[in-house]
Amino acid sequence: MRSPVFQHAFAFEFGDLFFTATYNGFDLYPNEPKAILVTFVKPTTKTRLATALTHRSLADTYA
pLDDT tens for residues 16-63? 999 999 999 999 999 999 999 999 999 999 999 999 999 999 877 765
Strand 53-56 vs strand 26-28: parallel, antiparallel, or unpaired? unpaired
Residue 57 lies in a domain: yes
- The residue range of the domain holding 20 is 7-61
pLDDT given at position 61: 72
Residue 1 lies in a domain: no
Residue 2 lies in a domain: no
Residue 32 lies in a domain: yes
Residue 38 lies in a domain: yes
Confidence of residue 1 (pLDDT cuts 50, 70, 90): confident
Residue 50 lies in a domain: yes
Nearest alpha-carbon partner for 10 in 41, 53, 45: 53
Show contacts of 36-43: CB within 8 Å, 24+ apart: 36/1, 38/14, 40/14, 41/17, 42/17, 42/18
